Structure 1
Amino acid sequence: MTTNTEQWTPPTGSQAAALPTGTWWDAVRVPENIGEHALGVLGARSGAVIKDRCNTLYWLIAPGSAATWNLYRVHVLGAVEGVATYLGVPPVDRLTPPGSHWRVPFTRDGYLTDPRLLYKALIRALLSAAGDGRRDGR
């Protein structure tokens, strides 16, 4: 699959845009409590992260880089057999609610997260939630 990760920028204006996964990036969808813990583990190594109106977090990663992941409550959104999933991407300057916004702001030189680091951070977050006795991940 051909990717254009270096040419992509978020929408401008006032509205979020539904953009296809698998072209510029795939997205890793995680519930807020797991995602916030993973953000704490990643720190400055995290790329851009979108938070939607349902408090779900989405990391942007290179297309196809997490196709084999199988983690509880973690969903990889990418093109499957050429069919994309669409993600609501907020305007580049929307950094606060209401609605979808950038939980970690977009920067042209570092918006993709290293999938290996994200995977490790998510494992730690999931183990932490399980250790808290919260089997449902909340």
Structure 2
Amino acid sequence: MQIHVLNGLISDWLARAHPVPEQARMEWSKQGVALLPLDGRFAAVRLSEELVHAALAGEGSEQVSAALAEELSGPVIHDHRAVGPTYYALIQGHAGLVWEFGDIAPCLCGDTYLGIPRVDRKRPPGTYWLVPPRYDGDLCRPQAVRELVVRGRRRLDGETAVVVR
């Protein structure tokens, strides 16, 4: 399938998350990012750069994309404009209802909107796809995101224990 057609299918899927899909398309056209509600279609787990880098054992920024693509097997957004560099792993909307890591990696859903980049926006500046969706409906496996969070938390706790001594 041609990339242009595939990107169109993915864009349509993402745009349908908006109450007025044409609004999302217009925002992508003008700004490169559209504010989409995180409701039934998908949710997003907010992962700090510190947590992600700890989970990936200090992977360099060049390797983060490949490591997250392999581990999470789904789309990840990178945003420099949030509270420090932040990653957003898109997961199934219903998985956010039972998310247990709100203190270190909150799951955004419900009445929350997230800046979703245009499908072909894969580089900074601004918000971009670190790992773009591969097809319409593509999402990270919630269990894979949980495992990444647990590993990152353990490593951060271990680093904290070393620093405190």
TM-score (norm: length of structure 2): 0.66
Is the contact made by 1:78 and 1:85 (CA closer than 8 Å) also made in structure 2? Answer: yes
What is the deviation of 1:118?
Answer: 1.2
**1:29 and 2:46 correspond:** yes
Counterparts in 2 of 1:70-89, with a 5 A limit?
A: 70-71=100-101, 72-79=103-110, 84-89=111-116
Matched residue pairs, number? Answer: 126
Q: Is 1:113 matched up with 2:143?
A: no
Q: Secondary structure at the match of 2:153?
A: helix
Partner of 1:8: 13
Q: More deviation in 11-20 or 37-46?
A: 37-46
Q: Which runs of 5+ in 1 are unaligned?
A: none
- 1:42–1:118 contact (8 Å) kept in structure 2: no
1:93 Cα shift?
0.6
Query: For the aligned residues, what is the CA RMSD?
Result: 2.6
1:65 is the counterpart of 2:70? no
Which letter maps to 2:109?
G
DSSP 3-state at the match of 1:65: helix
CA contact (8 A) 1:48 1:113 kept: yes
Once residues 32 and 41 of structure 1 are traced to their aligned partners in structure 2, the CA distance between those partners, rounded to angstroms, is 12
**C-alpha contact 1:48 1:59 (8 A) present in aligned 2:** yes
Secondary structure of 1:51's partner? strand
Aligned equivalents of 1:108, 1:41: Cα separation in 2: 17
CA shift, 1:41, in A, is 7.0
What secondary structure is seen at the aligned counterpart in 2 of 1:8?
Answer: helix
For the structure 1 residues 133 and 35, does the alpha-carbon distance in structure 2 shift closer, same or farther, using more than 3 Å as the test? same
How many Å separate the matches in 2 of 1:120 and 1:42?
Answer: 14
